[in-house]
Chains A and B, each alone.
Chain A
Amino acid sequence: MKLIRLRYKKWFNILKDGISRQNPIVIAVLGICSSLAVTNRVDNAIAMGLGVTFVVMASSAVISLMRSLIPGKVRMVTYMVVISTFVIMVQMFLEAYFPAIATRLGAYVGLIITNCIVMGRAEAFAVKNPVRYTLVDGFASGMGYTFVLVTISIIRELLSAGSILGFTILADSFPRWTVMTLAPGGFFVLGLFIWGFRELARYYETE
């Protein structure tokens, strides 16, 4: 009963849209620039996904707080400054507590700034809505994003190293697919993943 009542609340719809119906990667193919390259291991993908989630939530909230103060003409620059502040925070946090992951991600953490999702949510949602909804919206898009990254990385790590998060799953007799750690593996898995997801969601592109 409770769940049915929940369904009509605004924040529940925002949450659902972000994860499934408007999943930023699968439906709109936004923001994979900065992270497809690091999905060759599950822990990288988790770190990247959570980093992006934090940046989307924090920057959307700040922009939503300032939305009546930002003049229309300089809004893009303002977003950039707000977003890069949070990205620098993520970078410093990773370097301090997870140095191994920080080295492996390298320049890709900094590239969260150019992740279209962050900018997209700021422009499309945060400037028009109060803070509490932007937090839900940021969380939903971030989680939808993390979900895709982690799924892709599970497939890639399993096929290339036979393990998930470093725990061996497949027997040694299973041939290791080296190509899965390289860029083509990422492209193929994402392409097929989009296909599968779209068949499930019955979302088709017309060209």
Chain B
Amino acid sequence: MGNLFEMLLASILNHNIALVYILGMCPLIAISTNVKNAKGMGIAVVLVVTITALINWPIYQLLKATQTENLALLIFIITIAATVQILEIFMERFIPKLYNAFGIFLPLITVNCVVLAVSLFFVNREYTFAETGFFAFGSSVGWMLAIILLAGVREKMATHSDVPKGLKGKGITFIILGILALAFIGFTGIANI
């Protein structure tokens, strides 16, 4: 149990998937102009990442048993696309309120590298089912933390700072991310994966 808690802590803080592994950058930059949208995207990512990792794990064991691991990539991406689609239909039917709140973010998630990366990481590191669950949840919460922090800084910056012309937009966002990543390096040693 202590082991699992350590994994959760590590994947949120010092092995943060956005700021240490540099994954999921496209949506991180595109949807971080205000905190409200960032929150919506973050919650959608937590949901999808955790569910798909838990679905992909048994599928990978099946592939391993039949010795077709090479196809893992192809199967994972199809599972992810299908899960997102089903989740969307399910939410539209049963929880329309939630669907309206972050319905637009769901289709975007299929191309979010974080979802596929979590599935590939558990393959590379040979996690058990429980470890995969905690790792997937921790990583996605870490990603949400990163996008909310970034959105907070950008929101304030838009009204308070005078950024050089060429650095505006994407350029300064990377500098902010760099500073955030430096701060997260401070967590090194808290926990190990």
Contact = CB atoms under 8 A, between A and B. Distances in A.
Interface of A: 29-34, 36-37, 76-77, 80-81, 84-85, 87-88, 91-92, 106-107, 110-111, 113-114, 116, 119, 179, 182-188, 190-192, 194-196, 198-199, 204-207
A91 B73 contact: yes
B181 A187 contact: yes
B74 A81 contact: yes
B113 A34 contact: yes
Given A110-B120, A114-B112, A187-B178, A33 B71 contact: no
Interface stretch (B2-10, B16-24, B54-62): B16-24
A84 B170 contact: no
B19 A183 contact: yes
Given A80-B77, A106-B124, A36 B111 contact: no
A34 to B, nearest CB: 6
Interface of B: 19-26, 29, 70-71, 73-74, 77-78, 81, 111-113, 116-117, 120-121, 123-124, 158, 164-175, 177-179, 181-182, 185
A37 B23 contact: yes
A188 B20 CA distance: 13
Given A116-B111, A183-B181, A36 B73 contact: no
Given A92-B70, A184-B181, A114 B22 contact: no
Contacts of B169: 205, 207
Is chain B's binding surface mostly helix, strand, loop or mixed?
Answer: helix
Contacts, number: 125
B20 A183 contact: yes
25 contacts: A29-B29, A29-B170, A30-B26, A31-B26, A37-B23, A77-B81, A80-B78, A81-B74, A88-B71, A92-B70, A107-B120, A119-B111, A183-B19, A184-B178, A185-B178, A186-B22, A187-B174, A187-B178, A188-B175, A190-B174, A191-B174, A192-B171, A195-B171, A206-B168, A207-B158
Q: Which 4 A-B pairs have the closest CB atoms?
A: A191-B174, A187-B178, A205-B169, A107-B120
Contacts of B81: 76-77, 80
Contacts of A114: 111-113, 116
A204 B168 contact: yes
